[in-house]
Amino acid sequence: MAANLNASRVPILNLGPITRGVCVTMCGIIGCVSRREPVVELLLRGLKRLEYRGYDSAGIAVEYPSGIRITREVGKIRRLEDAVGASPQDGTTGVGHTRWATHGKPSEANAHPHVSADGRVVVAHNGIIENYRDLRRGLESRGIVFCSETDSEVIPNLIASHDRGDFPAAVRAALAELHGSFAIAVMHHDHPGVVIGARKDSPLIVGIASDRMLLASDAAAMLEATREMVFLEDGDMAVLTAESASFSRFDGTKVLRPSVTISWDLARAEKSGFEHYMLKEIHEQPQVVSDALLGAIGSGHEVNLEQIGLSDEVLRSLDRMCIVACGTSWHAGLVTKFWLERFARISSEVDYASEFRYRDPVMDSRTGLIAISQSGETADTLAALRRAKTDFNARTLGICNVQGATIARECDGLIMTHAGPEIGVASTKAFTGQLVAGFLLSLKLAAARGTLSPHEVRRLTDQLRRVPQWIARALESADAVRDVAASVADARGFLFLGRGANYPVALEGALKLKEISYMHAEGYPAGEMKHGPIALIDEGLPVVVIATRGPVYDKVASNVEEVRARGGRVIAIVNPGDDRVSKQASAIITVPETDPLLSPMINVVPLQLLAYEVARIRGCDVDQPRNLAKSVTVE
């Protein structure tokens, strides 16, 4: 049920002591102060573009002459839209929030924006307040009554408790008491036409337009209003009115923050006629690779990585690379390791960021730490990066898809993946962008270290330039993939096999399938199958095998024979003209033959399509799979 709360007369609902744990949130926030234009529609549209960050409940708070009206709703934004439908629409200042909770059930009371018990201060929050229990206890001892289970509700109450008539000063005083990660958007009943934003360890961007100021967790939410954006730094606060945006540190020191012009356009951030964002993003991959290569390969075949930030001398001095990442980005890291070792002859390891941060790794200033992250905000990857910098003085390099993201800003050097906004929760085009970045980095390192002949560099860069057309041809397998999907959509599970650089592709195929179709799938190095998983083989467990031509083709073909000998059903990804594996397979999907070193960029495409088609046949929510959020900004 929707709740229309007038903040100046907010109903007080005491839920009693907190017994159900922290409501950890990974959410999207938006705010707008406009001179004349009503903001309700803009907030709702912005929230829809932020929905990938969380979608279990949502709310908006809009300022009217009678007070701030808050509407909150459990479920997706379209339910909030229905709830807002009947309200007046003419308010010109407002904030909005879309929430994803990992603990504590999604409910109207736990949805944002939250309001102080005196009804004056309204806050939308993304992140987690680690010391909220202490803060809440202190506030309760002063008679403040809380309405939700959330950590976030302490923020408006803390601000209200510091309120002596100076709104920014009250926010600052509250910020000084908060521990944890947060991006907040704040409104005050006594200060109409003002929204204050602040960030620490959670993204927040200010949008600057001629007739309004905005803020949001993600640039895409503001693109319809402006392309001019200011990326706040950790510890920044922004005070927005319709005409101005002023920036300061939490301690009040004024700062100037340059604005940047975002090149993404709105059409690019929308579905462009595809049924789902994921499908659109799969089809964007040829363009992603072309964009990533723009300016990256010079006329002499040298690799130019503008923001790499590490001189050739430093690159030469490195004796080891350590890659940290999570999920799909970790798979991109595994492929990159293969290239780094092969091209640059540098020992490389790949760690789950969540493991690395709590291990006792051995590294020093001669170690190159590569943090791979689509969002650039993943909490574990960020923590691993910070640990490598502070504890070991490692040289750090980020591979990121989001301009201005925290990881992008905190690394010594950066390679942007140029994949554009990825809205589907399951990562596809960002993975391909990461592979291109990893390939270019490996070539760059090889050049600095003199480990590849000019002829080999020329050959590899020529091949890389052909990847967009190969991916475009791999996309032509869509019909064949759809038929295969129909034949396996009710299987009890899947095994994905690959070898060499295509072993991580097998892992990625399995991850895609389980994320969006909720079917169990495991990725394995094909040679390992006989050490255990072979026991699973029977007619009910389709085995997807990457069997394109290359140095390990014969080995993979033998593995396929092992599966067939046990009555297994093989779906093989093969090159045109393949006869050995194809004869053994129940179904084949053909992709163009490429240099085997580049084949992961092409071979992943039919696996992405297979996951998509199976999920669609099973009626799953492809773009917003259950229990998943796009940007995992808490541990």
Q: Residue 528 burial by CB count (10 A; 0-12/13-18/19+): exposed, middle or buried?
A: middle
Of the pair 426, 572, the CB lying nearest ligand F6R is at 426
Using the rule CB under 6 A, give the single segment among 38-46, 197-205, 257-265, 325-333 that binds ligand F6R.
325-333
Place of tokens 């199976």: 614
Instruction: Indicate which single residue of 93, 98, 248, 329 sits in contact with ligand F6R (rule: CB under 6 A).
Output: 329
Instruction: Indicate which single residue of 156, 327, 498, 550 sits in contact with ligand F6R (rule: CB under 6 A).
Output: 327
Least Å distance, CB 630 to ligand F6R, is 7
Using the rule CB under 6 A, give the single segment among 100-108, 269-277, 322-330, 546-554 that binds ligand F6R.
322-330
Using the rule CB under 6 A, give the single segment among 343-351, 367-375, 473-481, 572-580 that binds ligand F6R.
367-375
Least Å distance, CB 422 to ligand F6R, is 8
Instruction: Indicate which single residue of 416, 589, 632, 634 sits in contact with ligand F6R (rule: CB under 6 A).
Output: 632
Contact assessment for residue 306 and residue 453, using Cβ atoms and an 8 Å cutoff:
no
Instruction: Indicate which single residue of 326, 363, 526, 529 sits in contact with ligand F6R (rule: CB under 6 A).
Output: 326
Looking at residues 558 to 597 of the shown chain, list those that interact with ligand F6R (rule: CB under 6 A): none
Q: Crossing angle of helices 285-293/467-475, nearest 10°? A: 180
In the bound state, the residue with its beta carbon closest to ligand F6R is: 327
Of the pair 573, 622, the CB lying nearest ligand F6R is at 622
Of the pair 248, 374, the CB lying nearest ligand F6R is at 374
User: Which phi and psi angles does 482 have, rounded to 5°?
Assistant: -60, -40
Of the pair 328, 584, the CB lying nearest ligand F6R is at 328
Looking at residues 179 to 238 of the shown chain, list those that interact with ligand F6R (rule: CB under 6 A): none
Going across the sheet that includes 212-216, the strands are 3-6, 67-74, 57-64, 93-99, 28-34, 212-216, 205-208, 228-231, 260-261
Least Å distance, CB 329 to ligand F6R, is 4
By three-state DSSP, how is residue 46 classified?
A: helix
Place of tokens 């993975």: 431
Q: What is the DSSP string of 47-91?
A: HHHHGGG--SEEEEEEEETTEEEEEEEES-HHHHHHHHTTS----
Looking at residues 294 to 313 of the shown chain, list those that interact with ligand F6R (rule: CB under 6 A): none
By three-state DSSP, how is residue 587 classified?
A: strand
Size of the site for ligand F6R (CB under 6 A): 15
For 469-610, strand residue ranges (E) read 494-498, 521-525, 543-546, 570-574, 587-590
As beta bridge partners, residue 413 has: 397
Question: Going residue by residue from 370 to 409, which x/- string records binding to ligand F6R, judged by CB under 6 A?
Answer: ---xxx--x--x----------------------------
Residues in the chain: 635
User: Which phi and psi angles does 317 have, rounded to 5°?
Assistant: -75, -15
Least Å distance, CB 211 to ligand F6R, is 34
Q: Rounded CA gap, 380 and 77, in Å?
A: 28
Catalytic residue among 280, 444, 514, 630: 630
Instruction: Indicate which single residue of 152, 217, 285, 328 sits in contact with ligand F6R (rule: CB under 6 A).
Output: 328
Those residues whose C-beta lies under 8 Å from the C-beta of residue 83, and which sit 6 or more positions away, are: 2, 4, 71, 73
Least Å distance, CB 378 to ligand F6R, is 3
326 token code pair: 């999570």
Place of tokens 């020093």: 364
Least Å distance, CB 632 to ligand F6R, is 5
By three-state DSSP, how is residue 361 classified?
A: coil
By three-state DSSP, how is residue 355 classified?
A: helix
Of the pair 351, 515, the CB lying nearest ligand F6R is at 515
Is position 630 annotated as part of the catalytic site?
yes
CA distances from 98 to 22, 111, 148, 204 (A): 17, 8, 16, 14
Question: Going residue by residue from 512 to 551, which x/- string records binding to ligand F6R, judged by CB under 6 A?
Answer: ---x------------------------------------
Looking at residues 456 to 515 of the shown chain, list those that interact with ligand F6R (rule: CB under 6 A): 511, 515
3-state secondary structure 320-351: EEEEEECHHHHHHHHHHHHHHHHHHCCCEEEE
Looking at residues 406 to 445 of the shown chain, list those that interact with ligand F6R (rule: CB under 6 A): 426-427
Catalytic residue among 23, 27, 147, 326: 27
434 token code pair: 């990461």
Q: Rounded CA gap, 206 and 215, in Å?
A: 4
Is position 27 annotated as part of the catalytic site?
yes
Least Å distance, CB 13 to ligand F6R, is 35
Least Å distance, CB 430 to ligand F6R, is 7
**Is residue 335 a contact residue for ligand F6R (CB under 6 A)?**
no
Contact assessment for residue 22 and residue 36, using Cβ atoms and an 8 Å cutoff:
no
Least Å distance, CB 278 to ligand F6R, is 9
- By CB under 6 A, name the binding residues for ligand F6R: 326-329, 373-375, 378, 381, 426-427, 511, 515, 631-632
Residues with a catalytic annotation lie at 27, 630
